Amino acid sequence: MNELSGAEAFVRMLQLYGVRHIFGLCGDTSLPFYDALYRLDHGITHILTRDERSAAYMADGYARVTGRVGVCEGPSGGGATYILPGVVEANESSIPILAVTSDISVGGRGRFSLTELDQEALFRPLTKWNQVIDRAADIPKTVRAAFAQMTSGRPGAAHIGLPYDVQRGTVDEAELWGDPSLGAYPSRRFAPDPVAVAAAAELLLAARKPLFIVGGGVIIAGAEAELHAVAERLGAPVASTVSGHGSIADTQPLAVGVVGSNGGTMPTRAIVEEADLVVFVGCRAGSVTTERWRFPAPGKVKVIHIDADPAVPGASYATEAAIIGDAKLALAALRDALGAGHADGWGAARAARARDEKFAAFAALARSSERPIRPERLVADLQAVLPDDASIVADPGTPCPYLSAYYRLTRPGRHLWSNRAHGALGYAMSAAAGAAIGRPEVKTVAVMGDGSFAFTCGELETIVRLKLPIAMVVVSNASFGWIKAGQRSGFQQRYFSVDFTRTDHAAVAAAFGVKSWRVEDPAELRPVLQRAVEAGEPTLVDVICQPLHEARAPVSEWVA
């Protein structure tokens, strides 16, 4: 019997599932694992990060653009707690990342060992699947279970705890086998019930004004072509959530754009109000998408819900038909059930009117030469200089609603996204680093607020060390703008503890070795962005922008 150490066996199992990159940070309890990565010939590149949270966000961005499981790792104690924000964000966004945290020895439990905590309890509510390994012999089956859970059904995050003595134990080499197809997602797709598909088709053909509202599940499933085919057969408009942006190109006649309280506008809300049938696809119909379950209005519109998770349909809206299955297979079945459909539906003309109204209001501000620079002008200038296949990562705050509402994607797929599950600050820079590693052939851009920059600027060193040619844009307004805008609209402008000192972000970036600019004059913005995008090195543009509480942000609560 040939034996490997537990750490060696773990590395070999990752190799069997096609893992090519690991994002992480070293610690005492990780030493056997790191030594195995050093000694073995495995083809895996380890990316040293400066923070475990960043490692998880990098794994998230990497997974979103590659379609493969993103892997992050960190040590016990503080490392395990720091990695949590990225794990829960990925899990709730249905992005499969594997978080590996080393741990104290099994034999040291209950003896006040340094960094001891109950990792399995810690990760249980934040992951789809979670296990701390107690015996080295269990490593192969644990890794197999994790990959099967992460990539099948509704994808999600998994956690494996790897105690120090388990890493030093022995594993029979004959137990090392796996299914490499489970290293990508979605795996093991499942088709819908034909009876449910037929019921949905009947409802759609009878509807006068059907509307699709699609979430990230369409992009995750790679179902963009099937969605477009179904919409065309019905002449039905297609709206999206922030996470679903890219399910249909914004240049398609049936494309409405983003709806909801973050990135939606009054013209796009009007389409939701007019629909007599709404089809949610790969979308949980949560509070943001539906503006707290008001649009569409419950009981006033029929609902069809398509989702890979059987617990989603019916959670917020009564459904006339629920189709449980992979979005690609479900939409293909629905397309076939519709037959010729009736392509002369209301969608193209109505969507065009909504787009015209939305962008007419946007255009005036996008041309503004006022100072501070208007966020609309920043979006317009980014649109002008970026290639249409760029990867754009938007942090919450100012970037998310503006880019979601007004940045027009000319091709479908994963090209623009934000961390919409929990909306934590500090995501964009790290997720963009992961995306740039996963999809190096396209330009990657991170757009963040100044609050977010302070959360994550340590990763500038990582980006410079790896020579990642990311273009970073900081929206500088010296406040936690989202909260300040909420205090303005809902609390009679009682601004409390939301303003901070303006930082010279360009100078900070330059200290890390990043080519950087500070822009205050709107006339200089586009030329500087052009130089930043075309540079074959890390760049940062610090844009002095209008504060969010003074702007006309596409956020329904503030408009009202």
pLDDT of residue 341: 79
CATH 3.40.50.970 matches 3-183 = yes
User: What is the rounded (10 degree) CA torsion for 429, 435, 439, 440?
Assistant: 30
Contact 478, 450 (CB under 8 A): yes
> To which residue do tokens 């388990």 refer?
166
Coil, strand, or helix at residue 399?
A: helix
pLDDT of residue 311: 96
pLDDT of residue 559: 79
Contact 370, 521 (CB under 8 A): no
Sheet arrangement for strand 129-132: 45-48, 21-24, 70-74, 97-103, 158-163, 129-132
Report the distance separating Cα 200 and Cα 88, nearest Å. Answer: 33
pTM for this model (two decimals) = 0.97
Extract the tokens encoding 445: 């851009």
Report the distance separating Cα 99 and Cα 154, nearest Å. Answer: 18
Cα 27 → chain centroid: 28
- CB neighbours (10 Å) of residue 297? 12
- What phi and psi values does residue 249 have, to the nearest 5 degrees? -65, 140
Distances (CA, A) of 457 to 120, 421, 425, 539: 30, 22, 12, 13
Report the distance separating Cα 363 and Cα 358, nearest Å. Answer: 9
The residues, ordered by sequence, that sit 6+ positions from 152 with a Cβ below 8 Å of its Cβ are: 182, 186, 187, 188
- 3-183 and 194-350 share one CATH topology? yes
pLDDT of residue 560: 58
pLDDT of residue 385: 98
> To which residue do tokens 């609603």 refer?
401
Q: Which helix (H) or strand (E) holds 8?
A: helix 6-16
Q: Does residue 547 have a cis bond before it (omega within 30 degrees)? A: no
pLDDT of residue 524: 98
Coil, strand, or helix at residue 170?
A: strand
The CATH code belonging to domain 367-559 is 3.40.50.970
Surface-to-core class of residue 360, CB atoms within 10 Å of its CB (0-12 exposed, 13-18 middle, 19+ buried): exposed
Surface-to-core class of residue 30, CB atoms within 10 Å of its CB (0-12 exposed, 13-18 middle, 19+ buried): buried
**What is the domain partition of the chain in residue ranges?**
3-183, 194-350, 367-559
State in words which class domain 194-350 has.
alpha beta
Contact 174, 1 (CB under 8 A): yes
Extract the tokens encoding 167: 């890493």
Distances (CA, A) of 169 to 33, 164, 299, 486: 12, 9, 60, 54
Q: Provide the H-helix boundaries in 124-238.
A: 139-151, 164-168, 194-206, 216-221, 224-234
Q: Does residue 372 have a cis bond before it (omega within 30 degrees)? A: yes
Extract the tokens encoding 527: 């030329």
Which residue type does 432 have?
A: A
Contact 385, 530 (CB under 8 A): yes
Q: Does residue 186 have a cis bond before it (omega within 30 degrees)? A: yes
Which residue type does 537 have?
A: E
Distances (CA, A) of 462 to 54, 76, 442, 470, 531: 10, 22, 19, 12, 22
- pLDDT tens string, the chain, 560 residues long: the values are 799 999 999 999 999 999 999 999 999 999 999 999 999 999 999 999 999 999 999 999 999 999 999 999 999 999 999 999 999 999 999 999 999 999 999 999 999 999 999 999 999 999 999 999 999 999 999 999 999 999 999 999 999 999 999 999 999 999 999 999 999 999 999 999 999 999 999 999 999 999 999 999 999 999 999 999 999 999 999 999 999 999 999 999 999 999 999 999 999 999 999 999 999 999 999 999 999 999 999 999 999 999 999 999 999 999 999 999 999 999 999 999 999 878 788 999 999 999 999 999 999 999 999 999 999 999 999 999 999 999 999 999 899 999 999 999 999 999 999 999 999 999 999 999 999 999 999 999 999 999 999 999 999 999 999 999 999 999 999 999 999 999 999 999 999 999 999 999 999 999 999 999 999 999 999 999 999 999 999 999 999 999 999 999 999 888 75
Extract the tokens encoding 153: 């059904």
Query: Which 8-state DSSP code applies to residue 469?
Result: -
Q: Name the nearest CA neighbour of 244 among 273, 285, 210, 207.
A: 285
Q: What's the maximum distance between 2 C-alpha atoms anywhere in the chain?
A: 75
